[in-house]
Chains A and B, each alone.
Chain A
């Protein structure tokens, strides 16, 4: 992320607050800053890609949020990104949407689920958008069912 310099100018002639952003171009950093100032951060996550570049991702584009070791990864159909938040805090933010915890390690966007399958060895497999697949904990099945029921009732 680029360094941000904040300059405060006192102008008694102004009735409201004016914010002027100066940058070389309107990139992701600028967009993220505008979102933060305007409070438009509700359904967006700030993530970093493999090159360390910061991006803003809409909740609806997320397929899975998973934890691997100490890293939390946000997976979209376009790619994989890192995020500096715990799975628990993300679960709280995503809970109101179509997301559900499917195991200790993953939160999935139910909108991106193509189908569920129960293998012969006894694992719950989830086929996701863009050919991705993952598994769900058997004990989390009631939570998935509950979320789907809620969604059906909203329609």
Chain B
């Protein structure tokens, strides 16, 4: 539990920082979307709400990475669950905060996120496969007798 809170805390700060950096890069001098300012009433409050929500989003994303520590859960399942945890809240959040202009943009960003997750899973999978192949080689060297030879022998009458 301590690890979850530690990661969530880090995620909160990272979420806020990344949100501000992306908003500055995409929106120029404006940290928040003008429509959000209109909805909230003041720019300061809109910035505060955006930072808070981005922080919570970051905390959830980082905090739930502990799922990868679950020993009995297959890597593909963990990756899928974490991917859903990240993507599902992103859609309403991006619409509310005005990060995306329309549904099309939201879907494009979501697709990029899914593709990124697939790539991460694929890289981790390839690394583990390499590691397992190495273990098999080491096993043969450490216990040469443990190799099992399977012979298919037909018995003729």
In the complex, number of A-B residue pairs with CB atoms less than 8 Å apart: 77
User: Chain A residue with minimal CB distance to B134?
Assistant: A145
The distance from the CB of A142 to the nearest CB of chain B, in whole angstroms, is 9
The distance from the CB of B14 to the nearest CB of chain A, in whole angstroms, is 24
Quick check: B75 and A121 within 8 Å, CB to CB?
A: yes
Quick check: A151 and B142 within 8 Å, CB to CB?
A: yes
> Could you say which of A7-15, A67-75, A133-141 contacts chain B?
A133-141
Quick check: A120 and B76 within 8 Å, CB to CB?
A: yes
Quick check: B146 and A122 within 8 Å, CB to CB?
A: no
Q: Does B102 count as interface, using CB distance less than 8 angstroms?
A: no
Pick from A103, A117, A149: contact of B138, CB below 8 A. A149
> Could you say which of A24-32, A48-56, A88-96, A105-113 contacts chain B?
A105-113
> Could you say which of B15-23, B105-113, B123-131 contacts chain A?
B123-131
A103: chain B residues at CB < 8 Å are 71
Quick check: A151 and B71 within 8 Å, CB to CB?
A: no
User: Chain A residue with minimal CB distance to B121?
Assistant: A122
Using A115-B136, A118-B132, A145-B138 as known contacts, say yes or no to A151 and B143 having CB atoms under 8 A apart: yes
Quick check: B71 and A124 within 8 Å, CB to CB?
A: no
The distance from the CB of A138 to the nearest CB of chain B, in whole angstroms, is 7
Size category of the binding interface on chain B: 20 to 34
B138: chain A residues at CB < 8 Å are 145, 148-149, 152
Quick check: B135 and A116 within 8 Å, CB to CB?
A: yes
Q: Does A119 count as interface, using CB distance less than 8 angstroms?
A: yes
Quick check: B132 and A124 within 8 Å, CB to CB?
A: yes
Quick check: B74 and A122 within 8 Å, CB to CB?
A: yes
Per the 8 Å Cβ criterion, residues 71-94 of B in contact with A are 71-72, 74-79
User: Chain B residue with minimal CB distance to A151?
Assistant: B142
Residues of A with Cβ closer than 8 Å to B?
98, 103-104, 110-124, 129, 135, 137-139, 141, 144-145, 148-149, 151-152, 155
Pick the 6 closest A-B CB pairs, nearest first: A122-B75, A121-B74, A151-B142, A137-B71, A148-B138, A118-B132
